[in-house]
Structures are given as structure tokens and as C-alpha cells.
Amino acid sequence: MKKPKYDSLRVGIVCSRFNEFVVNALLDGAQRGLKARGVREKNIETHWVPGAFEIPVMARLMAVSQKFDALVALGAVIRGETAHFEYVAGPCAEGIMQVQLETLIPIGFGVLTVENVEQAAARSRPDDTNKGFEAAQVALDMIAAMRRWG
């Protein structure tokens, strides 16, 4: 099977500012994951939103813009003492999935849903276990898989 050419792909990244200390590490991982496959830095565009709840809206705007072959969604929802976690985590994931289904633009899901800061730190280390790195790789894998079908 012919290996996809990633150097011409355009990838958009949407990041949540809430828990930015974690999201910055996820963003570093995502950029590293894209560049490791040959995506050019000039073809990676990052947009920030206030929180994870807003990610699906920006992802949809980016997807319908026809500027991107794939997107990567990055955020960190950390459980607290209130029900806020449930009101944000589920709808964020569902919204991102809906954008993919409506637009057929793959979105690598790098929104952490964790119990505490320690779990967030463990998933945003500066290595290949970084969930931003993994989400970027998934987005590229989905481009290749979808192109085989159409």
C-alpha cells in the first residue's frame, strides 16, 4: 500500500485555554506528532477557545472552512467537587464526534477527562505517550483510512 504524503496536508488544532498548563503540553505533543509524520509547520494552524465546552463550535467552523484536511482537539477537563465535569466532558466529546460525522473531517480527540492534576500530567508528558501526540497521529491515520475509501 502506498504511504500517504503528509507534507502537503493542512491540519488545524483547536485548544482550550482552561487548564492551559496542561493544554500547552498537549499542544507541544500534537505539533511533534504531526511533524514526525512530515506535516510542515506552516501547514499547522492553532486556534484557542475559552474552555473545552467551546471546542466543538470552533472545530465545526474550522471543518467547514475547507482549509483543513484534519483537526486535532485539545483540552483538559479535570473533575472537581461539583457536577461541572459531567456537564462539560460528555457534551464536548459528543460535539466533536458530531462535527466529524457532519463534515467528514477527521478530528483527533485529545481532550483529557481526568480525576486530578496528577492524571493530567501523566497524560501530557513530553514523550510519545502524550495524548496530544497520539491525537495528532490518529488524525493523520484517519486521513489515510478515509482516502482509501473515497
Number of Cβ within a 10 Å radius of residue 96: 23
Rounded to the nearest angstrom, the gap between the alpha carbon of residue 149 and the centroid of all alpha carbons in its chain is 23
Q: Could you read off the pLDDT of 106-149 as tens digits, one per residue?
A: 999 999 999 999 999 999 999 999 999 999 999 999 999 999 98
Q: Report pLDDT for 21.
A: 96
pLDDT band at 82 (very low <50, low <70, confident <90, very high): confident
Active site residues: 84
Model's pTM, two decimal places? 0.95
Q: Could you read off the pLDDT of 84-110 as tens digits, one per residue?
A: 888 999 999 999 999 999 999 999 999
Q: Could you read off the pLDDT of 1-52 as tens digits, one per residue?
A: 455 688 999 999 999 999 999 999 999 999 999 999 999 999 999 999 999 9
Rounded to the nearest angstrom, the gap between the alpha carbon of residue 67 and the centroid of all alpha carbons in its chain is 16
The dihedrals phi and psi of 110, each to the nearest 5 degrees, come to: -120, 35
Number of Cβ within a 10 Å radius of residue 99: 24
Residues 135/72, Cβ–Cβ less than 8 Å = yes
- Name all domains of the chain by residue range, CATH numbers in brackets: 1-19+51-116 (3.40.50.960)
